[in-house]
Amino acid sequence: MAASLTLDGIVAGYGGGDVLRGVSFEVPEGAITCVVGPNGAGKSTLMRVLSGLLKPRKGTVTLNGEKLAGKSPRQILDRGVVQVPQDHSLFGDMTVAENLDLGGYILRDRDLIRGRMERVYGMFPEVRQWAGRKAGSLSGGQQRLAEFARALMLDPAVILLDEPSMGLSPRTAATVFGAVRQMSAGGATILLVEQNARAGLKLADRGVVLENGVVRLAGTGREILQHPEIGELYLGGAAKGVAATENRQVR
Ligand SMILES: Nc1ncnc2c1ncn2[C@@H]1O[C@H](COP(=O)(O)OP(=O)(O)OP(=O)(O)O)[C@@H](O)[C@H]1O
Ligand SMILES: [Mg+2]
């Protein structure tokens, strides 16, 4: 079951002043939305607010109309919002299968967990091959896929991905983006943060540019890619090339 998120006027920080200074945007149901922005813009802070790890000082987050802001991480998880954090988060000394098992621990029902694991392996067959390996022995890209698989154990309505391509070679990043597309095709609503702005926005239906704790621009992924100023700031000024290519495809 997919779901939509609405962020309205989110103000949040860590005590040393506000990092998010009134953030509002929509994460539409079933779509991929990508947040881009410079280092320190508040992207990870935003993810922490959505997963309940950080309580906003002001503003609301609603999931299909139900208020989330102020709920505990567990309550938010129970509503089907699952985060894959920026730093690698598998238990390195445990096997991939054990990590997946833990991903489903709130389900309690062993048969359900087993069934989910089969479904996840069906979606990412390579993860099944690593099932018996210690998670810490996997490459960065393999760990990302295993982290996605673990998140899918809860059959999430919304998946929050914080910089999934970070530290990966372009080729491995492309595999990870393919996996994001697969999770989207599986019906989940996806909110993605990416430093790799061009790749993230190409993948996304919707794009949001976060700058200094506020939304500078929101639109379709293509609109953001083609925006002249954004192109120069984040995309190395090459957005025109992308636009030209896409125009050719349209004709
Ligand atoms: N736990 C924390 N305690 C105090 N300040 C923090 C904490 N985490 C982040 N900050 C500060 O909040 C601001 C925004 O950080 P955040 O991690 O949200 O940015 P970001 O957009 O995710 O950046 P990056 O692209 O580097 O991941 C920064 O100034 C950072 O120093
Ligand atoms: Mg971050």
pLDDT of residue 251: 29
The per-residue pLDDT for 210 is 95
Rounded to 5°, the CA angle 108-113-118 comes to 180
Please report the pLDDT score of residue 224 as a whole number: 92
Question: Could you tell me the distance, in angstroms and rounded to a whole number, from the CA of residue 40 to the centre of ligand 1?
Answer: 5
Q: Does domain 5-250 have CATH number 3.40.50.300?
A: yes
**Phi and psi (nearest 5°) for 84?**
-105, 110
Contact 63, 158 (CB under 8 A): yes
Q: Ligand 1 in contact with 39 (CB < 6 A)?
A: yes
Could you state, in order of their start, the residue ranges of all structural domains in the chain?
5-250
Report how far ligand 1's centroid is from the alpha carbon of 213 (Å): 10
Low-confidence ranges of the chain (pLDDT < 70): 1-2, 233-251
pLDDT tens string 124-176: 999 999 999 999 999 999 999 999 999 999 999 999 999 999 999 999 999 99
Quote the pTM value.
Answer: 0.90
Contact 177, 165 (CB under 8 A): yes
Helix (H, G, I), strand (E, B) or coil at 164: coil
d(CA 163, CA 87): 9
Spatial CA neighbour of 160 closest among 48, 63, 71? 48
What integer pLDDT is reported at residue 206 of this predicted model? 97
Which numbered ligand comes closest to the C-alpha of 23?
Answer: 1
What is the per-residue burial (b if ≥16 Cβ within 10 Å, else e) of 132-155?
eebbeebeebbbbbbbbbbbbbbb
